[in-house]
Amino acid sequence: MSTAAYKFKIVMLGDFAVGKTSLVKRFVYDAFDDMYLTTLGVKVTKKEIHIEDNGNRVEVMLLLWDIGGHGRFSEISMNYLKGAGGAIIVSDLSNADTMKHIQDHISLFHEINPGGKFFVALNKADLVDAGKSGSDYIKKYLDHPASCPDDVVFLTSAKTGNNVETLFHTMAVQMMREKQ
Amino acid sequence: MSAVNEVISSRFGIYSLVLGKNLTFQNVPVDLLDYLGVESSMARSEISELFPEVVGLEPDIMEIISGLLEKFLLGYVNRIPEREIFFNLHVYPYEINKNAIVVIEDVTESGMSLRHVQQRRNELFLANMELLHRDEFISTLLNTMTNPVFYKDERGRYLGCNTAFAAFVGMEQHEIIGKTDHDMMFPGIVSLHREDDKDLLVSGGERHYESVVKNCRGEERYVIVSRAAFPAVGGSTGGIVGVMADITERKEMEDRLAKSEESLRDRNAVMENDLRLARKTLSALIDETPPDIPGCSIAVRYQPLEEVGGDYFSIVPLGEMGAAVFLCDITGHGVTAALFLSLIKYFSERIFFTCSNDPGGYLFRMNNELHGYIASYFITGLYGVLDLGTIKKFRFSAGAHPLPVILRKNGKAEFAGESGIVIGFVANATYPENEVRIFSGDMVFLYTDGIPETRNKQDRIVGFEEELLSLFERGRRSTIEDTLDAVMKSLGEYRGDVPYDDDIILLGFEIY
C-alpha cells in the first residue's frame, strides 16, 4: 500500500517510435536499450519520488501511462487519457513529422483534460545540433509556438539520460504545487 | 455469485472478483494475486491499488455499479516488468447499485502474438519511412542542382528528372515520367536525343557532346550533355542518366573574346606597321656606316633590342682635325623612344654648329634643350672630339654614360675621364671636359650600357670595371673590325642562352 502524499497519473503521448517507453524506462529504471518494442495497450509504471517542500520531504507517486504510439489519434482510446493530471508530449528531434504533430497531441490531451498540465520532451537530442535550444525547434515546427512556453520544453535523450530526471521531477513539483 | 465464480474460474486464465460500491475488493484469490505479481497483503484492496491502470477511470466504474453503463473494458493491460503478461480487464454490473463483477482475462499469448505482428508492421513502417526519407533526400539533392538532370529506362521512357530539367522543357516533373523524347512537345528535345542511345545501352560507358538546344520558350541554348548508362539491379543496363550544362553565357563570352581578339589582332597589325615605319625612320636617323676619317679607322656595331631601339650615335668628320662623335642611350624603347631620338638628332645637329669643338658646352646645351621636354625621358650620353693632329688626343664630356675604354698599343685597357649627371634631368647641369692622350696603335671604344650590363646565366653582369677592360683586352685583334667582332663574340659567349635585354652600340676607333 502506497503511503505517498500525492499520486498523479501522467500519460505519455507522441507519435510512434519517438521514445516514450524509453523515457519511462530511463526515468524509472535508469536503463536504456536500443531494442525496439512496440507498446501494446497500456502499460502503467509506478515511480515514487521525494520532493523537498519547505524543508519537508514529500513523497509523490507518479503513475506513468505509457500507451502505444499510433499513426492516427483516433486509435487512442479516450479511456487512457481520462483522469490524467498531466501529459508528457514526446517527439523525435530527428524526425520532422513527429515535431509537427506536437500541437495535435497537446490539443488531444486538452480535449479530455481541459487545463491539464503538459510538458514537451524533444527527445533524441543526442542525434541533433547541440547548439539549438528547445524554443528554436518549437518556433520552427509549431503553428502556435506561444502555446508551448520555454519552461515546459525539455531537450531530452533517453539514450544518455540527459534531462530525463529533470523533466519528470519538474513536472511532479509543479503538479504538487497546483494541488496544494 | 459463487456459482458464477466457480463456472468462470474453472476456465484457465480467467479470474473474477466482486467489486464493492466503495471500489474495494473484499477477497482477492491467492492465484490472482500470484498472477498479477502482487503481495498477499493486497487481498483486500482498492481497485486502483490492485489495478493502477484504472486510475482516472473510477467514475466509469462507478457508473457500472450504478447500472448506468453496461460494460467497461480496458484492453491489453501490459504488466511489465513485474510480470510479462497481458490481460483484458472487464467490469460488468452485478446486483444493481451494490457491486460489480470484475473479470481478468489473460490474453498473454494473443498479446504477444499481436505484439509480434505490430512489431513487424512497425519495422516495415520504419524501413519504409527510411526509404521515403532517402528518396526525399535524393530528390532534394537533384532538385538543388541547377543543371538539368534526367534519367530514362532502357526503352527511352523518362523515369524522372529534376526541377531544372522540367523548367527547361516547360513541363511538370510528374508529366515527364513515362514519356519518351518523341512524346515531348518541346522543340529542342530532338537535339537532346541521340541515335547512339542504343549503343550506349548496349556497350555502357558514357558520352559527352555539345549541342544547341531550344528550350521551352524557343530560346537557343548551348549545352554540354553528358550521358551514362546506369545498371539495373540484375546487372543489365537499366537506362540512361543525363546531365545538361548550359554554357550559353560562356559561349557568348567566348564569341565576345574572339571578336575582341580579332580587334586586338587588327590593332596589333597597325602597331606593328607603325613600328616598321618607326624602324625605317630610325634607320634614316642612324647612319651605321662610319665616315672615312684620315688618321684612323672606325668600326660600328649596332644591335637594337626591339624593332626600334633606344640608342643613338652620329660621327661627324671635322676635316683635318679628326671627328666628332655623339653617343647616347635614352630610357625606353619603341615608337616613343624613336620619336624622342628624332628630337635628339634635331637638337644635336643644331647644337653642333656652335659647340662642335666644345664637349662640355655641347652637353650643357643638350641638357637644357631636353630638360622638362618630355617628363620621365632622360638620356645618358657622351660627346667627344677625336683630335688627330700632331698631338693626338680625345676630348670628351659624359652625362652618366659609361666611360670610354682606351686600349693601348701594348694591349692594356683603361677607362678615361669622369662623367657628369644624366642629361635632361636638372637645368643648367655642367659636364666636365676630359682629355686623354692617344697614340698611334691605340684603340678607343665608346659604347652604351648594353655591353657592361650583359647578363649571364648566373645572373651576373660584365660590369663597369676590370672584367669590362679584360673583355676589350682579350678581344684585341690586328684591325678594329676584327677587334669589335671578337669583343661581340666574347660578349655572346658570356651571355650564353640569356637573351639580350638592352640595345647595344659599340664604336671603335683605331688610331694610325
Q: Which residue of A has its CA nearest to B77?
A: A42
Residues in CB range of B385: below 8 A, 6 or more apart: B318, B321, B322, B323, B324, B325, B356, B357, B359, B394, B395, B396
What pLDDT sits at residue B47? 92
Backbone angles phi, psi at B173, to 5 degrees: -55, -45
Using the predicted structure, report yes or no on whether residue A72 has a pLDDT greater than 70.
no
How far apart (Å, rounded) are the C-alpha atoms in residues B372 and A140? 74
Sign of CA dihedral A106, A109, A115, A116: negative
Residue B1 has pLDDT above 50, yes or no: no
Q: Please, which residues bridge with residue B300 across strands?
A: B507
Give the pLDDT band of residue A73 (cuts 50, 70, 90).
very low
Q: End-to-end CA distance of chain B: give it in Å, rounded.
A: 160
Confidence of residue A124 (pLDDT cuts 50, 70, 90): very high
Min Cα distance A151 → chain B (Å) is 26
- Closest partner residue to B77 (CB to CB) among A7, A36, A41 is A41
- The residues pairing with A121 across neighbouring beta strands, listed in sequence order, are A90, A154
Q: Is the pLDDT of residue B194 over 70?
A: no
Is residue B195's pLDDT more than 70?
no
Instruction: Tell whether B77 lies on the interface with A, counting CB pairs under 8 A.
Output: yes
CB contact, 8 Å: B126 with chain A? yes
Cell of B221: 541554348
Which residues in chain B have their CB less than 8 angstroms from residue A65's CB?
53
* Burial of B103 from C-beta contacts in 10 A (0-12 / 13-18 / 19+): middle
pLDDT band at B10 (very low <50, low <70, confident <90, very high): very low
Using a 10 angstrom Cβ sphere, with 0-12 exposed, 13-18 middle and 19 or more buried, the burial of residue A20 is buried
Q: How confident is the model at residue B3 (pLDDT cuts 50, 70, 90)?
A: very low
Say whether B78 and A84 touch across the interface (CB within 8 A). no
B428, three cell numbers = 643648367
- Contact list, A40 vs chain B (CB under 8 Å): 76, 78, 86, 111, 114-115, 118
The yes-or-no verdict on residue B157 having pLDDT over 80 is yes
Taking the CA of residue B196 as centre, how many other CA atoms within 13 Å lie in the half-sphere pointing to its CB? Answer: 12
Between helices B466-475 and B480-495, what is the axis angle to 10°? 130
Average pLDDT, chain B: 86
Answer yes or no: do B52 and A46 touch at CB < 8 A. yes
CB contact under 8 A, B126 and A17: yes
pLDDT of A28-46, one tens digit each? 988 887 666 667 778 888 8
Of A71-85, A111-125, B46-60, B264-278, least confident by mean pLDDT is A71-85
- Contact A41/B60, CB-based, under 8 Å? no
Instruction: Quote the pLDDT of residue B479.
Output: 96
Task: Assess contact for B422 and B468: CB atoms under 8 A.
Answer: no
Q: Do A39 and B58 touch (CB under 8 A)?
A: no
Buried b (16+ CB within 10 A) or exposed e, B246-284: beeeeeeeeeeeeeeeeeeeeeeeeeeeebeebbeebee
Q: What's the CA dihedral at A15, A21, A23, A25 to 10 degrees?
A: 180
Asked if B41 has any chain A CB less than 8 Å from its own CB, the reply is: yes
Contacts of B215 (CB under 8 A, 6+ apart): B168, B169, B170, B186, B188, B221
Distance from CA of B176 to the nearest CA of A (A): 29
SS3 for B151-186 is EEECCCCEEEECHHHHHHHCCCHHHHCCCCHHHCCC
Helices B334-355 and B248-285 pack at an angle, to 10 degrees, of: 20
A120 pLDDT above the threshold of 90: yes
B94 burial level (CB within 10 Å; 0-12, 13-18, 19+): middle
- Partner-chain contact A63 B57, CB within 8 Å: no
pLDDT score of B308: 59
Contacts A46 to B, Cβ<8 Å: 52
Q: Which residues, other chains included, contact B430 with Cβ-Cβ below 8 Å and sequence gap of 6+? A: B360, B364, B420
- pLDDT tens for each residue of B26-50: 889 888 888 888 888 888 889 988 9
Give residue-wise pLDDT tens across range B301-312. 988 776 556 788
Q: Is B86 in the A-facing interface, judged by CB distances under 8 Å? A: yes
Q: Is the peptide bond before B317 cis (omega within 30 degrees of 0)?
A: no
Q: What value does the mean pLDDT take over residues B333-359?
A: 85
- The verdict on ipTM greater than 0.90 is no
With pLDDT > 70 as the criterion, what percentage of chain A qualifies? Answer: 91
B169, exposed or middle or buried, with CB in 10 Å at 0-12, 13-18, 19+?
buried
What is Dmax (Cα atoms) for chain A? 46
User: For residue B260, is pLDDT > 60?
Assistant: yes
What percentage of chain B has pLDDT greater than the value 70?
A: 91
Distance CA(B96)–CA(B109), nearest Å, equals 34
The larger pLDDT score, comparing residue B268 to residue B95, is at: B268
Looking at residue B203, the DSSP 8-state letter turns out to be: H
| A20-29 helix and A164-179 helix, angle to the nearest 10 degrees | 80
In this prediction, residue B333 carries a pLDDT of 65
**Interface contacts (A, B; CB < 8 Å):** 69
Given a cut of 60, whether residue A147 has pLDDT beyond it is: yes
Q: Does B40 touch chain A (CB under 8 A)?
A: no
User: What amino acid is encoded at B81 in this protein?
Assistant: P
B58 φ, ψ to 5°? Answer: -55, -40
pLDDT at B306: 61
- CA–CA distance, B156 with B159 (Å, rounded to integer): 9
Rounded to the nearest angstrom, the minimum Cα separation between B115 and chain A is 6
Q: Is any Cβ of chain A less than 8 angstroms from the Cβ of B53?
A: yes
Range of A94-98, B12-16, B82-86 with top mean pLDDT: A94-98
The DSSP code sequence of B249-316 is: HHHHHHHHHHHHHHHHHHHHHHHHHHHHHHHHHHHHH---SPPP-TTEEEEEEEE-SSSS-SEEEEEE
C-alpha radius of gyration, chain A, whole number: 15
Mutate to test the interface with A, among B80, B84, B123, B132 (most CBs of A within 10 A): B80
Alpha carbon dihedral B421, B374, B305, B402, in 10-degree steps, equals -10
pLDDT confidence band for A75 (50 / 70 / 90): low
Q: What is the pLDDT of residues B411-458, one digit of tens each?
A: 999 999 999 999 988 899 999 999 999 999 999 999 999 999 999 999
- Average pLDDT (A128-140) is 85
pLDDT, tens digit, 9 for 90 and up, residues B447-490: 999 999 999 999 999 999 999 999 999 999 999 999 999 999 99
- pLDDT tens-digit series, residues B162-175: 999 999 888 899 98
Which residues in chain B have their CB less than 8 angstroms from residue A17's CB? 122, 126
The residue among A22, A42, A45, A97 with the most chain B CBs within 10 A of its CB, best to mutate, is A42
